[in-house]
């Protein structure tokens, strides 16, 4: 039997385990578009529970499960985080009123969570975290019939979860092609294994901040970890082509650089050596580098000057929402990233805009706070990202004093069009249907960068390549964002197109934005209305709305 103290420590151990492995889980994501990253979302979700449990000093298992479920619900981020929170909410429902838990109760409670998770997903897909959770639950039920000992049942649940994870590539061909298992399923196994460590051996996995080893592919991330303290002026980065026979060992270069600077990272493979160093003498570093091969790229930046510029700019604060009484009939909440887009949605009538989007999924609690700060009896929420819809839906049972309706917009253009089709004369539910009918007729084009090496449609994609997506489907790879968005528009615009809206992000200069706008105007302006909007959004160089 497990009491509350044991269950509490097991959950904290599970949270710590996934926190230390989140980067490995993130790396299982096979689509090259920058995203919320499964490991990060799941880690943040369950760490909310670990923090809440830290102050609990009781031994009631039911209370521990309830604290866990409540914290995870509010902290849930992304689809994987929401599904994980629903699985643990099953424990709260199944263990309610139980001071101690046997194996049969554990398995049954897991089943409640699995059922809720399947129901929450519009189109459940096998070969995902759902499969891993379901098969683990089914094994737990069978095990409890043989032996109701809690540890025995949990061991069987963990074993089956890992077996289920191993077959996810057989159930999802895209996983098999990429040679990986499902990221969400892996995250769940890591949590379960962290719990088992305490339940079986009394060993709590310690919290460690996940870090990646330096490789050529993640060099920038590894080097950036050293950039906190400025002791040398120049951040010097360069790539050396390994084209000199009998060149010295790269370790000699590393040793030399350590004598003239710090934060040294030297990564090499068969073709190149990539170097990062902070130094007062970048010329000496480059001269030494020539002994090892030809310099392919060089970048030298004055960090002290950069630091002064950063300090001169006020750091944006996360929005705070003050609760408001529901006095108006209707109010709107949207999710968007970038000051330009946030202002645009406010101009369209949104009382509050939650910061978030691709790669930065807001939590359920973030959305809940915005809803409660909207002074309306009926609040319509526009997630504007497929990975935020589930988190938004979890706010519905949390809000007691107003009606919350989720309009499941999956992109920024869908959210814009939906708001433009609001009708104050009909019910909130009818409005949601009307708005989504209009939103689904809008084409969304996205231009971004490849976050990882990948292969799609027979094309090999390298990390950093410019890629364009047409309604979620990767169609174009390019070297230049302007060229990519022009090609994308040519693919998307038809004879029936009336409006084109080009939204440019914070990594696009005004000059490049105008160049893209002029090309679209020259090509389509005679028969369509082309509009340029400064969105300031991260991740996406351009967002293209075609309707």
* Most confident listed range (153-167, 267-281, 316-330, 477-491): 153-167
CATH topology of domain 219-312: Alpha-Beta Plaits (3.30.70)
Indicate the pLDDT class of residue 87, thresholds 50, 70 and 90: very high
Q: How far apart are CA 144 and CA 134, in angstroms?
A: 15
The residues pairing with 448 across neighbouring beta strands, listed in sequence order, are 467
Q: Give the closest residue to 179 by CA, choosing from 166, 169, 167, 165.
A: 169
Helix, strand, coil tally for the chain in percent (to 5): 50, 20, 35
Q: What is the pLDDT of residue 262?
A: 79
pTM: 0.71
Query: Could you tell me the strand order of the sheet in which 328-336 lies?
Result: 352-355, 328-336, 376-382, 403-406
The residues pairing with 467 across neighbouring beta strands, listed in sequence order, are 448, 477
Of the two residues 215 and 539, the one the predictor is more confident about is 539
- Average per-residue pLDDT for the chain: 87
Instruction: With beta carbons less than 8 A apart as the criterion, state whether 16 and 164 touch.
Output: no
The per-residue b/e assignment along 227-241, b for 16 or more CB within 10 angstroms, e otherwise, is eeeeebbbbbbbbbe
Q: What is the pLDDT of residue 268?
A: 66
Q: How many Å is the maximal CA-CA distance in the chain? A: 80
Of the two residues 30 and 49, the one the predictor is more confident about is 49
Indicate the pLDDT class of residue 74, thresholds 50, 70 and 90: confident
The residue whose two tokens read 């990429």 is 178
DSSP structure class, residue 362:
P
CATH topology of domain 328-439: Rossmann fold (3.40.50)
Element (H, E) at 171: helix 150-171
Q: What is the pLDDT of residue 222?
A: 42
Q: How far apart are CA 387 and CA 76, in angstroms?
A: 11
Q: Range with the lowest mean pLDDT among 304-308, 455-459, 503-507? A: 304-308
Q: What is the pLDDT of residue 210?
A: 53
> pLDDT tens digits, residue range 277-289?
889 999 999 999 9
Indicate the pLDDT class of residue 296, thresholds 50, 70 and 90: confident
> pLDDT tens digits, residue range 336-347?
999 999 999 999
Three-class HEC string of 35-66: CCCHHHHHHHHHHHHHHHHCCCCCCCHHHHHH
CATH topology of domain 443-546: Hypothetical Protein Tm841; Chain: A;domain 3 (3.30.1180)
The residues of the chain that CATH labels 3.40.50.510 are: 328-439
> pLDDT tens digits, residue range 2-23?
999 999 999 999 999 999 999 8
- Strand 352-355 relative to strand 328-336, pairing: parallel
The residues of the chain that CATH labels 1.25.40.340 are: 2-201
CA distances from 115 to 88, 120, 146, 148, 545 (A): 11, 9, 23, 22, 37
**Percentage of residues in the chain having pLDDT higher than 90:** 63
Mean pLDDT of 34-45: 80
Backbone angle region of 384, left / alpha / beta, with phi > 0 → left and psi within -120 to 50 → alpha:
left
**pLDDT above 60 (res 524):** yes
The residues of the chain that CATH labels 3.30.70.980 are: 219-312
**pLDDT above 60 (res 355):** yes
CATH homologous superfamily of 2-201 equals DhaL domain (1.25.40.340)
Q: Range with the lowest mean pLDDT among 89-93, 208-212, 354-358, 383-387? A: 208-212
> pLDDT tens digits, residue range 231-260?
788 888 888 888 888 888 888 998 898 899
Element (H, E) at 336: strand 328-336
DSSP structure class, residue 396:
G
The residues pairing with 415 across neighbouring beta strands, listed in sequence order, are none
**DSSP sequence for 64-92:** HHHHHHHHHHHH-BHHHHHHHHHHHHHHH
Backbone phi, psi, residue 155, to 5°: -60, -45
Q: How far apart are CA 449 and CA 467, in angstroms?
A: 6
Mean pLDDT of 221-235: 56
- To 10 degrees, what angle do helices 412-420 and 428-439 make? 130
Indicate the pLDDT class of residue 216, thresholds 50, 70 and 90: very low
Which sign, positive or negative, has the C-alpha torsion 335, 339, 341, 345? Answer: positive
**pLDDT above 90 (res 174):** no
The residues of the chain that CATH labels 3.30.1180.10 are: 443-546
The residues pairing with 380 across neighbouring beta strands, listed in sequence order, are 332, 405
Q: How far apart are CA 506 and CA 523, in angstroms?
A: 25
């Amino acid at each position: 039997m497990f009491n509350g103290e044991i269950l509490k420590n097991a959950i904290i151990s599970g949270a710590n385990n996934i926190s230390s492995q989140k980067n490995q889980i993130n790396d299982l994501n096979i689509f090259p578009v920058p995203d919320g990253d499964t490991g990060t979302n799941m880690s943040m979700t369950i760490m909310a529970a670990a923090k809440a449990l830290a102050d609990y000093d009781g031994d009631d298992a039911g209370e521990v499960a309830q604290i866990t479920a409540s914290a995870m619900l509010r902290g849930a981020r992304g689809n994987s985080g929401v599904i994980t929170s629903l699985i643990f909410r099953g424990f709260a429902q199944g263990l309610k009123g139980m001071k101690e838990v046997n194996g049969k109760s554990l398995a049954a409670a897991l089943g409640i969570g699995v059922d809720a998770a399947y129901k929450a997903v519009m189109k459940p897909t096998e070969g995902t975290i759902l499969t891993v959770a379901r098969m683990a639950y089914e094994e737990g039920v069978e095990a409890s019939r043989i032996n109701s000992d809690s540890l025995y049942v949990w061991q069987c649940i963990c074993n089956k979860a890992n077996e289920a994870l191993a077959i996810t590539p057989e159930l999802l061909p895209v996983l098999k092609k990429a040679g990986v298992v499902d990221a969400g399923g892996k995250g769940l196994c890591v949590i379960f294994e962290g719990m088992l460590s305490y339940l079986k051996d009394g060993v709590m996995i310690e919290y460690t901040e996940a870090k990646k080893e330096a490789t050529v592919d993640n060099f920038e991330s590894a080097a950036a970890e050293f950039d906190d303290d400025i002791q040398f002026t120049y951040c010097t980065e360069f790539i050396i082509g390994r084209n000199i026979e009998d060149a010295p060992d790269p370790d000699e270069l590393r040793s030399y650089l350590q004598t003239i600077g710090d934060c040294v990272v030297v990564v090499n493979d068969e073709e190149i050596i990539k170097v990062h160093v902070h130094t007062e003498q970048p010329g000496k570093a480059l001269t030494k580098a020539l002994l090892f091969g030809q310099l392919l790229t060089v970048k030298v930046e004055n960090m002290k000057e950069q630091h002064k510029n950063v300090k001169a700019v006020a750091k944006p604060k996360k929005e705070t929402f003050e609760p408001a009484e529901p006095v108006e009939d209707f109010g709107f909440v949207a999710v968007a990233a970038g000051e330009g887009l946030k202002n645009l949605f406010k101009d369209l009538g949104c009382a509050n805009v939650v910061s978030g989007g691709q790669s930065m999924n807001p939590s359920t609690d973030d959305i809940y706070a915005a809803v409660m700060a909207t002074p309306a009896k009926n609040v319509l929420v526009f997630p504007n990202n497929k990975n935020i819809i589930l988190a938004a839906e979890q706010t519905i049972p949390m809000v007691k004093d107003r009606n919350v309706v989720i309009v499941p917009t999956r992109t920024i253009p869908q959210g814009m069009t939906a708001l433009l089709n609001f009708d104050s004369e009909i019910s909130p539910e009818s409005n949601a249907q009307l708005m989504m009918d209009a939103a689904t007729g809008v084409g969304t084009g996205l231009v971004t960068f490849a976050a990882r090496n990948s292969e799609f449609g027979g094309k090999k994609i390298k990390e950093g390549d410019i890629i364009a997506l047409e309604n979620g489907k990767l169609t174009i790879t390019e070297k230049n964002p302007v060229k990519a968005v022009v090609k994308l528009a040519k693919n998307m615009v038809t004879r029936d197109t009336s409006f084109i809206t080009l939204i440019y992000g914070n990594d696009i200069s005004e000059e490049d934005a105008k160049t893209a706008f002029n090309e679209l105007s020259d090509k389509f302006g005679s028969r369509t209305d082309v509009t340029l909007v400064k969105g300031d959004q991260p991740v996406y160089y351009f967002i293209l709305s075609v309707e």
